[in-house]
Amino acid sequence: MPVFDTLSLASLPQADEAIRPAIRAIAAEAAAAAGADRRARSWQGYDPAFSRRLGEAGFLGLTLPERYGGHGRGPFARFVVVEELLGIGAPVAAHWIADRQSAPLILNFGNEAQREFYLPRIARGEIFFCIGMSEPGSGSDLASVRTRAERTESGWRVNGQKIWTSGAPHCDYMIALLRTSGSAEDRHAGLSQLIIDLKAPGVTIRPIRDLAGDEHFAEVFFEDVDLPADALIGNEGEGWKQVTAELAFERSGPERIYSSVVLLDAWVRHLQAVGRDDPATLALVGDFTARLGVLRAMSIACTARLAAGESPVTEASLVKDLGTAFEQQLPVAIGDDLAAHPDQAVDAELYRTLLYVTHVAPSFSLRGGTREILRGIIARGMGLR
Amino acid sequence: MSEFLEPFERMLESLSPPATVRSIEAGGDADALWNGIAESGFLDALVPEERGGAGLPLAEVCALWQALGRHAVPLPVGETMIARALLADAPDGPIALASAGPGAATVVPFGRVARHVLLEFGGRLCLVEASGEETGVAGSLAARMIWDAAPAEVVGAAPAGGLRAIAAVLRAALIAGAADRLTAMTAAYANERVQFGKPIGKQQALQQQMALMAEDMVACRIAAQLGCAGDLQPGLVAAATAKSIASTAAARLAATAHAVHGAIGISEEYDLQLYTRRLHEWRLADGSETYWNRLLGAARLGDARGSVDYVREAL
């Protein structure tokens, strides 16, 4: 299958491996005081002080040019940093979207003034972004968004609503996909991306509590929100193209394989503590270990395509779908394993971690594109239409 | 990508078309195919240069092994490459690999068409003449062999980690190659076959299954490459990861390929079965996924590191 031939074993360059000890030390500081059930929240864990600390230490905006406050490194360096943060479950939610996809988007499609205005502050961990894509009537069918931005004499006026916006209650800005011309029937045409200052008059944010008791996502309402002309990012009418490129960044990182890794480690430590080594347990541990190893190698292979300047949309979808299936199977299998041994007491922290991951696991294959959408992208990559 | 892959693949295309594969499976003469491959020099791909070989790293040979799987080559070419690298003075002819204990019948892949078997028995390597009985499985090139006592023909100590580890890595690469061919065949068929007035490949239910085939195919390739990242003595974690992933995927890939093809995929005259039969045999050969998962699980539980650190440092 020629389309997937480019996904091949790659290794992290030595220069990028070299930054691992420093980021590991900072991540360990943040995680030291937190129990496994808290660390399992990782990229839902909001800690702006920690994000600023990462910025001061030079671990945000890694891939941005130095003239914008970045560090001129490549996707491999970012892989190392993200792996260290997620592997231990450090609280990264505050800066997550800004660092992962808003900054590359502004760098790629923004004008010089926008770059100078936003990028240095993102790299310092001072401003946080969220993504305005989903709407009440637009989930997987993203091109059907109805929230509009109309041209005014001084810029833009926005009316409508976004929903399931992760981090909105804590963020400074939203990069929203909006309709700037035509109607929902025009599909991909007439969509644009605008940067919305969430403190602007007319913006109302209502947090939504999730089934685990957390409030990380929200509804965001826009009522005659006036924005300046330079709120437009990239070109008017090219929002779909820009969003597609953005999603390649969103889908290809190690966050798509590590969502349950804090639970995996807590379970392995439990097995070690109780000394269980029957053949079925060993086979289960071995299966997870093999899959984690291959998924990590696949994620690095995908990062190598990013590093080569490509936009590996199909490849990233493939790694994400396989990765989230693994992330979702872990809590199911670990729950069965623990409850199959009622005489080996499970401590309260492991139990809370297990149930937290079990409850939020459905979101792993929703956020960033559902399983069905991703498999459709892969099928098209295989030549099926 | 290896510069040797293209000529190797071209050679296999001309020397080992499906008709030749079927003929050899049916007991036909394999000398012409073997001599063609032997003359190409590729059998010494892994032999060090100072011994007259090409001295290619295993990472490069991995692509050649996948090509063998992609063409369902009916001879132990990869096995012979390993044997010729391990033996100072290898005999001519195809050599199969086996690991066995006293009195236990062992299914040796390509045992029917091998002249010799490089056998690990009691911690030693022995080179014995291939003799065994047919498995009775239609089209299978494997043979059942039994050694009651250690053969006299000892040629050295077993490689660290055992002969089974490198054989399992080879098997993973063969599976990855067959998976590649199977996925391409199945996608092409889905675009041709019309039901309900349109190609079945337009059905979302089918597209979703095909996407999983692509995922398994790529996972097999990366797993095989991880297994081949070292030398002929792969570490336990690398060998186990390669074979566990490839064996697990092999059964799923074969099932989906057959489901998409429908009845024609079951027929002898259609090429699909050349690959799906191999996937199932190679899944079982040199340890199934659970065999390797147990070994890997034991190693993992004996290690105090976190899971990410473990796979990062051990692979």
pLDDT at residue B2 tops 80: no
| pLDDT tens column, A3-15 | 688 899 999 999 9
Topology of domain A131-237, per CATH? Butyryl-CoA Dehydrogenase, subunit A; domain 2 (2.40.110)
Between B218, B241, B296, which is nearest A318 by CB?
B218
Delimit the domains of chain A by residue range. 2-128, 131-237, 242-381
Distance of alpha carbon A67 from alpha carbon A51, whole angstroms: 21
* Spatial CA neighbour of B113 closest among B9, B58, B6, B33: B33
Residues of chain A by 3-state class (helix, strand, coil), percent to 5: 55, 15, 30
- Report the CATH number of the A2-128 domain: 1.10.540.10
Adjacent-strand bridge partners of A218: A165, A207
First to last CA, chain A: 15
Distance of alpha carbon A299 from alpha carbon A255, whole angstroms: 10
Distance of alpha carbon B52 from alpha carbon B44, whole angstroms: 8
- Residue-level pLDDT at A2: 65
Least confident of A148-157, A334-343, B148-157: B148-157
Residues of A in contact with B222 (CB under 8 A): 7-9, 294, 297-298, 301
- pLDDT-derived band at B300 (thresholds 50, 70, 90) equals very high
**pTM of the full structure:** 0.96
Structure tokens that stand for A255 in this block: 């966050």
In the residue annotation, A83 being an active-site residue is answered as no
pLDDT at residue B270 tops 80: yes
Structure tokens that stand for A127 in this block: 């401003």
Distance of alpha carbon A135 from alpha carbon A30, whole angstroms: 34
- Chain A closest-CA separation from residue B115 CA (Å): 35
| Residues A130/A97, Cβ–Cβ less than 8 Å | yes
- pLDDT-derived band at A280 (thresholds 50, 70, 90) equals very high
Structure tokens that stand for B157 in this block: 């100590």
Please return the burial class of A362, using the count of CB atoms within 10 Å of its CB with bins 0-12, 13-18 and 19+. Answer: exposed
A326 — contact with chain B (CB < 8 Å)?
no
In this prediction, residues B174-188 reach a mean pLDDT of: 97
Distance of alpha carbon A133 from alpha carbon B187, whole angstroms: 33
Question: Is there a contact between A264 and B307 if contact means CB atoms under 8 Å apart?
Answer: yes
Adjacent-strand bridge partners of A138: A135
Between B201, B237, B244, which is nearest A287 by CB?
B244
Question: Is there a contact between A289 and B212 if contact means CB atoms under 8 Å apart?
Answer: no
| pLDDT tens column, A311-347 | 888 999 999 999 999 999 999 999 999 999 999 999 9
pLDDT at residue A149 tops 80: yes
- Residue-level pLDDT at A67: 97
- Residue-level pLDDT at A184: 79
Q: Where are the alpha helices (DSSP H) in chain A?
A: 14-17, 20-32, 36-39, 48-56, 75-88, 93-97, 103-109, 112-123, 239-251, 261-274, 279-307, 313-339, 348-360, 371-381
* Spatial CA neighbour of B218 closest among A382, A76, A34, A336: A382
In this prediction, residues B171-190 reach a mean pLDDT of: 98
| pLDDT tens column, A18-50 | 999 999 999 999 888 899 999 999 878 899 999
- Chain A closest-CA separation from residue B311 CA (Å): 5
- pLDDT-derived band at A358 (thresholds 50, 70, 90) equals very high
For CA atoms B76, B77, B78, B79, the dihedral sign is: positive
| Residues A185/A230, Cβ–Cβ less than 8 Å | no
Distance of alpha carbon A99 from alpha carbon A111, whole angstroms: 18
In this prediction, residues A226-231 reach a mean pLDDT of: 97
A265 — contact with chain B (CB < 8 Å)?
yes
Give the nearest chain A residue to B178 (CA atoms). Answer: A1
Distance of alpha carbon A205 from alpha carbon A198, whole angstroms: 9
**Exactly one of A83, A246, A250, A255 is catalytic; which is it?**
A250
- pLDDT-derived band at A254 (thresholds 50, 70, 90) equals confident
Per-chain mean pLDDT for chain B: 97
Domains and CATH numbers, chain B: 5-157 (1.10.540), 163-314 (1.20.140.10)
| Residues A72/A80, Cβ–Cβ less than 8 Å | no
Mapping DSSP onto H, E and C, the string for chain B reads CCCCHHHHHHHHHHHCCHHHHHHHHCCCCCHHHHHHHHHHCHHHCCCCHHHCCCCCCHHHHHHHHHHHHHCCCCCCHHHHHHHHHHCCCCCCCCEEEEEECCCCCEEECCCCCCCEEEEEECCEEEEEECCCEECCCCCCCCEEECCCCCCCCEEEECCCCCHHHHHHHHHHHHHHHHHHHHHHHHHHHHHHCEECCEEHHHCHHHHHHHHHHHHHHHHHHHHHHHHCCCCCCCCHHHHHHHHHHHHHHHHHHHHHHHHHHHHHHHCCCCCHHHHHHHHHHHHHCCCCHHHHHHHHHHHHHCCCCCHHHHHHHHC
* Spatial CA neighbour of A94 closest among A162, A30, A22: A30
Q: Spelled out in words, what is the top-level CATH class assigned to the domain A242-381?
A: mainly alpha
Between A271, A285, A375, which is nearest B207 by CB?
A375
- Residues with Cβ within 8 Å of residue A51, at least 6 apart in sequence: A60, A92, A94, A95, A125, A128
Adjacent-strand bridge partners of A166: A217
- Chain A closest-CA separation from residue B28 CA (Å): 32
pLDDT at residue A187 tops 90: no
